[in-house]
Amino acid sequence: MHPDSQHDKQMITVPKADGTFIQADMVKNWDEDKWMKEFSYLSEAQMHYLVLAAPDKLGRGVVEMCLKTAQKCGFKVFLGIQYDDAWWKKGSRDRDWLFEQMRIGCRIADSLYGKYHDIYPDAFYGWYFAYEVDNAKFNSRSKFALFAEALDILLEHLRENGHRLPVMLSPFMRSAFGRAKDYAANWAWLFNATELGEGDVFCPQDSVGGGGLKLNELDKWFGQLRKAVDTKPGLQFWANTENFDHRFWSSAPLKRFLKQMEIVSRHVDKIVTFSYSHYYSPNNIDKRLHETYLSYLKTGRLPEEGPKPPAKLAVKRTGVNGHRIIWQAAEDQEGVFGYELFRNGRKIFATYEQRRYGGKPQGMTNSFADRNVLKWRPWGTVYEVRAVDFAGNTSKKIKARVF
């Protein structure tokens, strides 16, 4: 890791996130007090950067409030330029649409820079290119050539108009759609075919939270991408480490998140995350996630003692084709982040502390309806449930068998 100051260098003893993404829809109604609290939490977590994604959809009030409070708190902001959902259908195949999006982005960047950069010069640090490239849709050199030509429309415009701040890209990858070596080769080609360079940030999503990569694939993929970045002098290599679980759209237990950072830190210059603000910040979820992470930063380790198991597990028949599984809360419920349910050794359900924005209104539950059980032999089925604490430690499983 390469921290920003001697002070930070002395503090860092473990891999950590130096910044977070935050989506404009979550913060559209935040006032200055809410923003100041958020930056206070991020400062406690030893962060320096914030990436505000696609704020153009919600008006300029979000942008100004973010920059105003970031400047007060000493944060550097990458500001999203522009985004359109049609990217997922047209981005890799519709040249006219793609180039028009770049021209729209140029106009938005001009407006944002002219309105805010002189007022908040310390906070307005860079641009975030919100369109995400992946190795399923961008799976050939010709697709990368199209993207390179489009990207340079924006980069050349920013340079020619004096608005050329560091630009961050955050693509992702899925191992099911290709090899790390091939994806890295395409990126190396693009780096050297465009004006990306000194100070710009290549910040791929580690794709673990989204399900594209497994933990044991991270080292290989980031190792290959490091080689690609090294072909372009001055280009920075960061990781966007995902602290969520797409299977349940929940926060990832800290133990998994820290393992992700440990792996990618072997290759990258810096780590940011999607998203501390959404999944760990006390502004949006139980403060014990934040407190446990702060303890890790201070001590270099997480607590290791797991929680007590749930008190009781029962299975009730629901008609001829269903089971209702119900468990009682663990005795130390105050330390429980969630519960995980298994059928014949396979995890089929998990329920965790929910986010205030983006979470499920019903919160954490103590039951699950298992339907279509006649698809397998329901008699002799074993259900097991365990508790998970905020660090990611698990309790012993308790079980119930269906006779």
For residue 43, what pLDDT is reported? 98
For residue 4, what pLDDT is reported? 47
From 281, 252, 250, select the one nearest 390 (Cα to Cα).
252
CA distances from 272 to 16, 226, 394 (A): 8, 16, 27
From 307, 329, 284, 324, select the one nearest 393 (Cα to Cα).
307
The number of C-alpha atoms within 13 Å of 75 and in the hemisphere containing its C-beta is: 31
For residue 58, what pLDDT is reported? 58
Torsion, Cα 210 214 219 222, to 10 degrees, reads -30
CB 204 within 8 A of CB 171: yes
Rounded to whole angstroms, the Cα distance separating 233 from 106 reads 25
The per-residue pLDDT string of the chain (403 residues; one tens digit each, 9 = 90 and over) reads 344 444 444 454 799 999 999 998 899 999 999 999 999 999 999 999 999 986 655 566 899 999 999 999 999 999 999 899 999 999 999 999 999 999 999 999 999 999 999 999 999 999 999 999 999 999 999 999 999 999 999 999 999 999 999 999 999 999 999 999 999 999 999 999 999 999 999 999 999 999 999 999 999 999 999 999 999 999 999 999 999 999 888 999 999 999 999 999 999 999 999 999 999 999 999 999 999 999 999 999 999 998 999 989 999 988 888 899 999 999 876 689 999 999 999 999 999 999 999 998 888 999 999 988 877 666 778 999 999 999 999 999 999 988 7
Distance linking the first and last C-alpha atoms of the chain: 55
Domains of the chain with bracketed CATH: 6-299 (3.20.20.80), 313-401 (2.60.40.10)
- Three-state SS for the chain is CCCCCHHHHHHCCCCCCCEEEEEHHHHCCCCHHHHHHHHHHHHHCCCCEEEEECHHHHCHHHHHHHHHHHHHHCCEEEEECCCCCCHHHHCCCCHHHHHHHHHHHHHHHHHHHHHHHCCCCCCEEEEEECCCCCCCCCCCHHHHHHHHHHHHHHHHHHHHCCCCCCEEECCCCCHHHCCHHHHHHHHHHHHHHCCCCCCCEECCECCCCCCCCCHHHHHHHHHHHHHHHCCCCCCEEEEEEECEECCCCEECCHHHHHHHHHHHCCCCCEEEEECHHHHCCCCCCCHHHHHHHHHHHHHCCCCCCCCCCECCEEEEECCCCEEEEEECCECCHHHEEEEEEEECCEEEEEEECCCCCCCCCCCCCCEEEEECHHHCCCCCCEEEEEEEECCCCECCCEEEECC
C-beta atoms surrounding 2 within 10 Å: 11
Rounded to whole angstroms, the Cα distance separating 145 from 116 reads 33
Rounded to whole angstroms, the Cα distance separating 194 from 178 reads 23
For residue 402, what pLDDT is reported? 85
Cα-flanking dihedrals φ and ψ of residue 185, to 5°?
-65, -40
Rounded to whole angstroms, the Cα distance separating 367 from 87 reads 39
Rounded to whole angstroms, the Cα distance separating 131 from 84 reads 8
For residue 331, what pLDDT is reported? 81
Q: Which residues contact 319 (CB under 8 A, 6 or more apart)?
A: none
